[in-house]
Chains A and B, each alone.
Chain A
Amino acid sequence: MQEMMTAWTNWIGGIAARDRLVDRGHRMGITGSKTIAAGNLVTDGPYTEIKEFINGVMYIRAENIEEAVELAKGCPMLQGKGKVEVRPLVTADDFS
């Protein structure tokens, strides 16, 4: 437990130490979560429908996607079966 917690704070602390942390974001809970579909159809989950779910989100700033990827490589999630997606934020001036 303690070790896992240390791994997470070391990872986020390392990003913050590079002055790359914008918002440590939140872990997202699974129990009690709901999914809303068209027609206001509310179901429990997402856990019943899909195998993968988003565990949390965090905002960093980086020169480019490569740098962001390097920082993401330290994520403790990768010690297990998890994955980290690195996605750029789209701003008004982007064409994507």
Chain B
Amino acid sequence: MIQELYRKEYGKMVTVLCNRFGLAHMDAAEDIVSDTFLSAAESWGMSGVPSNPVAWLYAVAKNNALNYLKHNNIFEQRIRKDLLRAEQRYEMDIDLSDQNITDSQLRMIFAICHPSLPVEAQVSLALRVLCGFTIDEIAQALLTSKGNINKRLFRAKEKLRAEDVEIAFPEGMEIGARLDTVLVCLYLLFNEGYYSAGADSVLRKDLCLEAMRLAYLLIGNAQTAKPRVYALMALMCFQASRFDARIGDGGELVLYEDQDIRRWDEELTGRGGQFFVHASGRGEVSKYHIEAAIAWWHTHQAEEGEKWVNILRLYNQLLILEYSPIAALNRAYAFYRVYGKEKAIVEAEGLQLSGNLFYHSLLGELYTDVDNERARQHFAQALALAGSAAEKAVLERKLNDHS
């Protein structure tokens, strides 16, 4: 119970406090909120959970924050300036209303997704500060060590201080470019959850849901509700609709072909469709539009021929817009579905992505029944490159079929 609250409320409170104190005081904001949860654990443990736990948390955090303000030179540096400003009456309050939480989070997204930070740092920081993940959970979700995450967060905060980044909504012309940085971060956050085969599936799903929640915040604001934001949201809905179907009962990865269609979430597909309608018709075609369209075909039971012809066309379009190895490999797979294995082998080998796990497993797939010895070699190479147990299991099965 307190853990759920932590996940839900930690980020909100830290974000509101950061908005108030300034980004340079992020550590103080985190300390205050952590202390609040510590006292909650003590006090609730002794005298029982209050009837409105969230209100309790907010009240205690508020008090702690006000004490901090009073006793710290933040008051001197920031607040007094406000006080001295003509007519502006300064109220000694911390605003934890829904509206201010939402506004603060929106400003915080832009501060965290600052172009001066590498995208991995943005993702970690977003998970910590906006999503209330513990260091442990972030390390698990991103398949790295706690030490690494701590270092990453420390450096990111230092950088934000050094760059004197303000928690503010970007202005006018700036919004477009800043929004693109935010979308890259959310896209990565979602993909970390969706594709990483390491962490447990509950945690991974949380990552996806958080990415969707943050994207939804952007949609809720007129200045950021751009077509490409809707497109990203549609993409995430379409992908997430298969989340349950692609995880087996034992936590193993269920390949697309083997998924139980009844476990696809139609409600999410429907929501995705609505977002896609909002994304379209305004003359903007981003990579998120194209990827959403591809994902739509995957959630859609269509005649196989028509489906893959369209998916191939979309991958062509996507690659022309922006190259990525994974898109190139997916295109080669779509090529196989349309034109058969032998032609697809030529396409795939032309990619020269030797040393890429998916390159070798794709070629293993394509050479199967064409040249089984080569197929075996590629699966073996892929297996050597596989990192997670789930991936290894799939490849070992394939390799066994060839011996």
Contact = CB atoms under 8 A, between A and B. Distances in A.
Interface of A: 6, 9-10, 12-14, 16-19, 21, 24
Interface stretch (B252-260, B281-289, B347-355): B347-355
19 contacts: A6-B309, A6-B313, A9-B313, A10-B312, A13-B312, A13-B315, A13-B317, A14-B350, A16-B316, A16-B323, A17-B315, A17-B319, A17-B350, A17-B351, A18-B328, A18-B351, A19-B325, A21-B320, A21-B323
A14 B328 CA distance: 8
Contacts of B320: 12-13, 16, 21, 24
B316 A10 contact: yes
- Count class of interface residues, chain B: 10 to 19
B313 A17 contact: no
Contacts, number: 45
A25 to B, nearest CB: 11
A13 B319 contact: yes
B319 A16 contact: yes
Interface in B310-365: 312-313, 315-317, 319-320, 323, 325, 327-328, 331-332, 335, 347, 350-352
Given A13-B331, A18-B351, A18-B352, 16 more contacts: A6-B313, A9-B316, A13-B312, A13-B315, A13-B317, A14-B347, A17-B319, A17-B323, A17-B331, A17-B332, A17-B347, A17-B350, A18-B328, A19-B323, A19-B328, A21-B320
B328 A17 contact: yes
Contacts of B309: 6
A74 to B, nearest CB: 10
Nearest first, the 6 closest Cβ-Cβ pairs linking A and B are: A13-B316, A16-B319, A17-B328, A9-B316, A19-B323, A16-B320
Interface of B: 309, 312-313, 315-317, 319-320, 323, 325, 327-328, 331-332, 335, 347, 350-352
B352 to A, nearest CB: 7
A14 B348 CA distance: 9
A24 B317 CA distance: 11
A2 B385 CA distance: 40
Contacts of A19: 323, 325, 328
Contacts of A16: 316, 319-320, 323, 328
A12 B323 CA distance: 12
B71 to A, nearest CB: 57
Contacts of B315: 13, 17
A63 to B, nearest CB: 11
A12 B320 CA distance: 7
A17 B316 CA distance: 8
A12 B315 CA distance: 11
Contacts of A9: 313, 316-317
Interface centre among A16, A17, A18, A24 (most CB of B within 10 A): A17
A54 B312 CA distance: 29
Contacts of B319: 13, 16-17, 21
A6 B306 CA distance: 13
B311 to A, nearest CB: 12
Contacts of B351: 17-18
Counting chain B CB atoms within 10 Å of each CB, the highest count among A10, A16, A18 belongs to: A16
Contacts of B316: 9-10, 12-13, 16
A19 B325 CA distance: 8
